[in-house]
Structure 1
């Protein structure tokens, strides 16, 4: 499997990249972002691309992929709706529209957020923008689109958020998050689980398009089939 990964330096993206490089059936991983990850692996190629709204200069390097894991995102904290929309809806669709044209057989997996407003009419600004983004992605001619809404994410394996506020509070929350994961596994997921679940839906599809924490956890708890990967229900779309 050939994987394209956006946002590999963020907290979620770091976890997804780790799982991609640990997966035996992933032959090639290419990251696209404004900065390199600093990781070295013979299967990893990195494209440092300063303009995440325009991919015309690198289109030849964006073809021939089986899956795209889109983990780019920003916090809406203190942002105006127009600015947040540009960095969420516009940025995501700029990449997705290009990839749908170049890779129509690709599976596109987008990291959204729990509480996203699919109606686009709610009071929460970030939820409306995420909902608009999800709805637009579902209309693109990919083989399949999956929308991950992970909610609370516990970073593992030394992974840290790029957001300074999160880096400051996560050390204090880690004991609570570990307890939450043990007591309420359907309310919290780890960076490892998000990466494993993304790979699973890219391999086999899934019966649902929107993936809540319970779905992500269920995929990771499914016993592997004969091939070593979870036997999931293929996506009908």
Structure 2
């Protein structure tokens, strides 16, 4: 089923975090996306005519919210946490178990949905590497592909240039933004690149299920920029 030229409704998680906030702000500017539901554990101060909010304290139990989560075309799952200082059991619970429980519920409610999972550049699809977070991210990518969505894609962005409108940008990220895009332009994305690419894939599909930086750049370039000021 092609969704070309259809006005789309999107769910976003992780909107109170750095990458999720950037994706959300850019999504709200996209002309083909008419409704955005942010699913948060805590309230966001952001208000917009396209935007609504659902507070869910436990992402592994969505039974009470099924009516509010039904009827959506896509999900940009940007919720997550750094593995720094975290043991494997806890990181696995948040990154793998919680993601899978949330995704399984959405797949049941919206079988025609396209699910986009925010992964990481060095995610380990073999699940056998020495780096804990990469193994678990890879395991999550693989498991999501078994769910009965219309399609599942894992996007692995590198450095993303922060938006001026963002509140949740770490200080070290602001410093890196002064040099990283100039030294490593091929490893740098904008939020417009990401959202434009994901929206095009949502409408038309894509041959690869893992979206590396080069894929996101190529798809965004083919589609053209939304050129919205944030």
Gaps of 5+ in 2: 1-7
Give 1:19 deviation, angstroms: 2.0
Within 2, Cα distance between the matches of 1:21 and 1:96? 22
Q: Residues 43-72 of structure 1: CA distance to partner in whole angstroms, max 9, x if unpaired?
A: 211011111221111011110000011000
1:207 is aligned to 2:214: no
Matched, 1:176 2:183: no
Counterpart check, 1:120 vs 2:127: yes
Moved more, 92-101 or 50-59: 50-59
Deviation at 1:158, TM superposition (A): 3.3
Normalised by the length of structure 2, the TM-score is 0.90
Q: 1: CA distance between counterparts of 2:182 and 2:55? A: 38
Q: Paired residue for 2:51? A: 44
Task: Specify the alignment match of 1:31 in structure 2.
Answer: 38
Q: Name the SS for the 1:175 alignment partner.
A: coil
1:59-104: CA deviation from partner (whole Å, max 9, x where unpaired): 1111000001100010000110001000100110011000011110
Whether the 8 Å CA contact 2:200–2:223 is kept in 1: the answer is no
Q: TM-score, normalised by structure 1?
A: 0.87
* Partner-residue secondary structure (3-state), 2:33: coil
Per-residue CA deviation, residues 127-178 of structure 1 (Å, 9 max, x unaligned), is 110011001000001001011011222212232446xxxx121222121123
CA offset digits 1:172-211 (Å, max 9, x no partner): 212112313xxx4331212332222222211221121101
- Report whether the alignment pairs 1:109 with 2:112: no
Q: Does 1:96 align with 2:99?
A: no
Report the Cα offset of residue 9 of structure 1.
1.3
Say if 1:107 and 1:145, in contact at 8 Å, map to a contact too: yes
Q: Give the 3-state SS of the residue equivalent to 1:222 in structure 2.
A: helix
In structure 2, the residue matched to 1:234 is none
Asked whether the 8 Å contact 2:196–2:223 carries over to 1, the reply is: no
SS of equivalent residue, structure 1 residue 186: helix
Unaligned runs of 5+ in 1: 229-237
Give the whole-Å Cα distance in 1 for the aligned partners of 2:136 and 2:77: 16
Task: Find runs of 4+ consecutive structure 1 residues off by over 6 angstroms.
Answer: none
Partner of 2:221: 221
